[in-house]
Amino acid sequence: MEDFIKLHPGSDTIIKGLLRSYEGIFDYPATIFENALSHFLKMPKQDAEKHLKALHHYQIVNYSAQPDRQQITLLQNRMYLDDFKIDSQRTETLRKHYMERLEFMIAYIRNTKECRNNFISGYLGSIEKMQPCGYL
């Protein structure tokens, strides 16, 4: 390491910063936070990334830059297509029931002739008609 620093004096700051910020970084893989490292070294993030890429180029570290976009790690395996089954008949039945309920709600709102109590009891399947309530 000392020989490398003598050959590349500009890398002294980043190497010392890595050693101080991430214990055992040259012995074990570590996650580097470029923002925190650049703040610690009081240098722009782009300069810190440039130095890290140079260290990677000289095979001092194995560095891969953070992606620009956020990432999600799935804690469970993804569902395979073979495990994912949709009952199309059940889905169609549910859709039809939903459309019937929706049509009833629209008819209920637009109803101006029948007593709403009778209208609802008819929807619920009651055969008997209630006395007209006087309210629409």
The mean pLDDT of the chain is 82
Segment 54-111, tens digit of pLDDT: 888 888 888 877 766 666 666 677 677 777 788 899 999 999 999 999 999 999 999 8
- The residue among 100 and 31 whose pLDDT is bigger is 100
Place of tokens 């722009």: 44
Assigned domain for 48 exists: yes
- Whether residue 19 contacts residue 11, with contact meaning beta carbons closer than 8 Å, is answered with no
Full residue range of the structural domain in which residue 115 is found: 81-123
Mapped to the 3 state alphabet, what secondary structure does 9-27 carry? HHHHHHHHHHHHHCCCCCC
Number of domains forming the structure of the chain: 2
Confirm whether 62 is domain-assigned. no
In a domain, 132, yes or no: no
For residue 128, tell me if it sits in a domain: no
Look at residue 64 and tell me if it is in a domain.
Answer: no
Q: Are residues 88 and 50 located together in one domain of the fold?
A: no
Question: How would residue 135 be classed by pLDDT, with cut points 50, 70 and 90?
Answer: low
| Residues 14 and 50 both lie in one domain | yes
With respect to residue 134, please indicate whether it lies within any of the assigned structural domains: no
Q: Which residue has the higher pLDDT, 37 or 81?
A: 37
- Asked, for residue 69, whether it belongs to a domain, the answer is no
Which one is predicted more confidently, 127 or 21? 21
